[in-house]
Every structure is written in structure tokens, then in C-alpha cells.
């Protein structure tokens, strides 16, 4: 009963980033005018890539991102990101100039920080758009990482035409992902269209979470240009602990506690066992296969206990080995690649093990001696053709 209760509660407290805590999510909004193109480029990094990024931004190594460190990092972070953005007009590449930047660390549902980077870019066109002009834009940043990728295009005194163009953001600039698209997130890595002079003027736009490069750093806030009441995405540095990556103060305090009583230790072990049991009830742990094998082998309760212990130990060791592999790989192989290929490796491994077990059973049944025989040509039993007395001449 406790396991079922945990199943109902666990997803609501364990879920952090809606697309997974390995993801790096992209948005680029293009605003095309006759003489210039502006790009609103946004990165929303989930918990794991944020952990890595914070280690570089935390220049004093104290585990916290101060206002000064955030201010110092926002422009270099944008320049690193936007170096992989390519805008071409009329077949020629047009340089993108960084004019505003914003860096925040919103706290996710599990108490861990994510990172939101906003980079406002301006491209002055060498010639005004007149007749139909080919325009393309691509984002090659973090190409090896999984995540949401979205692009929109609007004309400002220019008419834009292309295939599957979006004029509005489905995710509200990576702040509210639509639940019906989470299983198949958008994957816009490039956009192509034609621009022709003439068309309605677009509404004025100013990124609410980016500041001009020469703006003074605000005190205690990630942006001085947020819309009224829009504070949900701004992380208060005081809420981040001294643990690199920003684990919540409660967890940090628990790990540093030295006066744990025996009752607390026992309760913690029982809680850990209950959480483990709840986790084991979720799909994907091969319990059905193990149970079928145990039933087919006519196992005893002792066998079931041994099997359960072996599964628990192997599962724990497997997680530890996987963590060590991910840490050892470092930047050579992004962690989300493990998340992508681990199910494939698991499926192949289980299929191979199942095939070996099946082949073994077929061989045993095929070559096993028939009932009442020992593999020899003569039978054994009460109708044995000779007795011991005859064999000795009696």
C-alpha cells in the first residue's frame, strides 16, 4: 500500500525540468525589417548542464553565484552561445551584434537551479530589402545535446513567406512548455524564408529579461527590465546553498548534520527502503522477467529472497558504475547521450540474456534422457533381464 502511495506522490515531487534534467533548450525569434534583422535568442538549460555551467561562472569557488559573477558572465556566455548562430541574407552571411544580455538561475520544482540565458542580437543589412530576398538562420550551438528547439519569424514592414514558419512561440520563449508536445519536442535547427518589402508594422518588442550591455548591474535581481509582477523566473542568490550546483539548503544541512540519533538513523533507513520499494514498482526493472523465471524454475522463498537481494545489489552497483562513467567521460560525451542510448543497450542486453536462457532450455530438453533411462541402451527397473544371482553363477 505504501508503495502505491509513493507511486502517486513521487512524480509530483521528483519532476524538475519538464523536458528532463539533461536538456539544453533553444528559442530564436527573428524580427525582419527592411534594413535590419533582430534576433531574440534564449537558452534554457536544465539542472545537469546548469551544474557544469555554474562551476565556470563561480569564479571565487564559494559555490554561490553572486550578482557580480552573474554580471561578469552574462556577456561572455552570450558571445559563446551566439558564435554558433548564422544569419544569411541574399546568400551572404550577415554579422550579428550582441546588444543586450541577461543571465538568471531560476529554481526548478526539485529545488535545483536551472539557467536562463537571453541574448538580443542586431544585424544591420548591407542593402535594404526590396524584392523577394532569401533569408536563412541556423543555430548550431550544443548540437550534440537533446532538448527543445524553436524558431519564430515576424515581419516588420516586410512580408515573410516560407514553409512551416511560426509567428508566435509555442513555449512563450521557453517559459511554459506545452504538455502535448513534451514527448515530441520541436526541433527547429534552421529556418529558410523569403522577405519582400511591404507589410504591416510589428508591435514593439523589448526582451523583458535582458539588459543593454552598458546597463548598470542591478542589486539582488537577474534583470532590471522585467515586466510588472514577472518575478517567478528570477532566482534570489540567497536561496542557493554553498554546494556547487545549488542544491537546496535543506539537503545541504542534512548532509552536514553530526548529531543524528539512532531513532533518526533507523527512520532514515526505513524511509530509504520504502522509497526503494516504491521505485522498484515502477516499469523498467525487469521484474516481470525475473518473476517468470522464478516461477518457471519452481523457486522457493529462499530463492526469491536471494533473487531480490541480487537485483537490489546489482541495481545499486549499476547506478554507481553509470555515474562514474558519466563523470569520467566529462565533456567528451555529454551525459544526455547516456540517457539516449542506455535504453537501447539495456534492451540489447536483456534480449541477449533471454536468448541464451532460451537456447539453454532448448538444448537441455532436446538432449535430456527419456523418463526411466539413464542415457544407455538398456533399461533399468524391475524387469531387468538378469539378476545378481545369475551373474555370480548361483
- Grid coordinates representing 331? 565533456
The DSSP call for residue 226 is: P
Task: Let me know: does 5 contact 274? Beta carbons within 8 Å.
Answer: no
Rounded to the nearest integer, the mean pLDDT of the chain is 78
Contact assessment for residue 197 and residue 157, using Cβ atoms and an 8 Å cutoff? yes
Distance of CA 390 to the CA centre of its chain: 81
User: Could you tell me if 75 and 14 are in contact, meaning their C-beta atoms sit under 8 angstroms apart?
Assistant: no
Q: What is the DSSP letter of 330?
A: G
Which residues are 116's β-sheet partners? 44, 104
In sequence order, the 6+-apart residues with CB closer than 8 A to the CB of 334 are: 22, 144, 145
Residue bearing the bigger pLDDT, 209 or 316? 209
Residue found by looking up cell 536544465 in the block = 46
Scan for cell 535543506, then name that residue.
250
Residue 264: CB partners within 8 Å, gap ≥ 6? none
**How many Cβ atoms sit within 10 Å of the Cβ of residue 193?**
21
- The pLDDT value recorded for residue 231 is 35
Res. 350 pLDDT band, cuts 50 70 90: confident
Identify which has the larger pLDDT, 53 or 277: 53
Q: What is the pLDDT of residues 4-37, one digit of tens each?
A: 443 444 443 344 578 888 899 999 999 999 999 9
Angstrom distance (rounded) from CA 222 to CA 271: 38
Span 92-131, pLDDT tens digits: 999 999 999 999 999 886 678 999 999 999 999 999 998 9
pTM for the model stands at: 0.63
Amino acid at each position: 500500500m505504501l508503495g502505491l502511495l509513493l507511486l502517486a506522490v513521487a512524480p509530483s515531487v521528483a519532476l524538475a525540468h519538464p523536458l528532463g534534467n539533461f536538456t539544453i533548450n533553444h528559442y530564436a525569434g527573428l524580427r525582419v525589417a527592411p534594413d535590419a534583422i533582430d534576433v531574440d535568442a534564449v537558452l534554457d538549460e536544465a539542472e545537469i548542464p546548469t551544474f557544469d555551467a555554474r562551476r565556470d561562472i563561480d569564479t571565487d569557488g564559494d559555490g554561490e553565484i553572486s550578482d557580480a559573477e552573474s554580471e561578469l558572465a552574462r556577456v561572455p556566455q552570450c558571445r559563446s552561445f551566439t558564435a554558433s548562430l548564422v544569419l544569411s541574407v541574399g546568400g551572404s552571411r550577415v554579422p550579428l551584434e550582441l546588444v543586450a544580455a541577461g543571465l538568471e538561475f531560476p529554481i526548478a520544482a526539485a529545488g535545483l537551479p536551472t539557467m536562463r540565458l537571453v541574448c538580443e542580437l542586431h544585424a544591420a543589412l548591407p542593402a535594404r530589402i526590396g524584392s523577394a530576398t532569401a533569408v536563412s538562420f541556423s543555430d548550431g550551438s550544443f548540437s550534440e545535446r537533446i532538448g527543445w528547439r524553436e524558431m519564430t519569424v515576424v515581419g516588420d514592414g516586410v512580408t515573410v513567406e516560407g514553409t512551416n514558419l511560426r509567428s508566435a512561440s509555442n513555449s512563450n520563449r521557453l517559459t511554459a512548455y506545452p504538455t502535448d508536445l513534451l514527448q515530441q519536442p520541436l526541433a527547429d535547427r534552421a529556418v529558410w524564408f523569403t522577405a519582400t518589402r511591404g507589410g504591416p508594422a510589428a508591435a514593439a518588442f523589448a526582451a523583458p529579461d535582458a539588459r543593454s550591455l552598458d546597463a548598470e548591474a542591478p542589486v539582488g535581481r537577474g534583470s532590471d527590465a522585467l515586466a510588472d509582477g514577472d518575478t517567478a523566473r528570477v532566482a534570489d542568490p540567497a536561496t542557493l546553498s554553498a554546494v556547487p550546483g545549488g542544491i537546496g539548503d535543506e539537503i545541504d544541512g542534512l548532509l552536514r548534520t553530526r548529531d543524528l540519533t539512532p531513532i533518526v538513523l533507523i527512520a532514515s533507513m526505513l524511509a530509504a527502503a520504502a522509497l526503494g520499494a516504491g521505485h522498484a514498482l515502477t516499469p523498467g526493472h525487469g521484474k516481470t522477467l525475473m518473476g517468470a523465471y522464478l516461477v518457471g524454475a519452481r523457486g522457493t522463498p529462499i530463492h526469491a529472497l536471494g533473487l531480490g537481494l541480487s537485483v537490489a545489489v546489482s541495481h545499486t552497483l549499476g547506478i554507481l558504475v553509470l555515474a562514474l562513467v558519466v563523470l569520467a567521460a566529462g565533456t567528451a560525451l555529454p551525459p544526455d547521450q547516456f540517457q539516449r542510448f542506455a535504453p537501447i543497450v539495456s534492451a540489447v542486453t536483456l534480449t541477449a540474456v533471454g536468448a541464451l536462457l532460451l537456447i539453454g532450455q532448448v538444448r537441455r530438453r532436446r538432449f535430456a534422457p527419456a523418463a526411466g533411462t539413464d542415457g544407455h541402451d538398456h533399461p533399468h527397473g524391475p524387469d531387468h533381464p538378469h539378476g545378481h544371482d545369475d551373474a555370480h553363477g548361483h
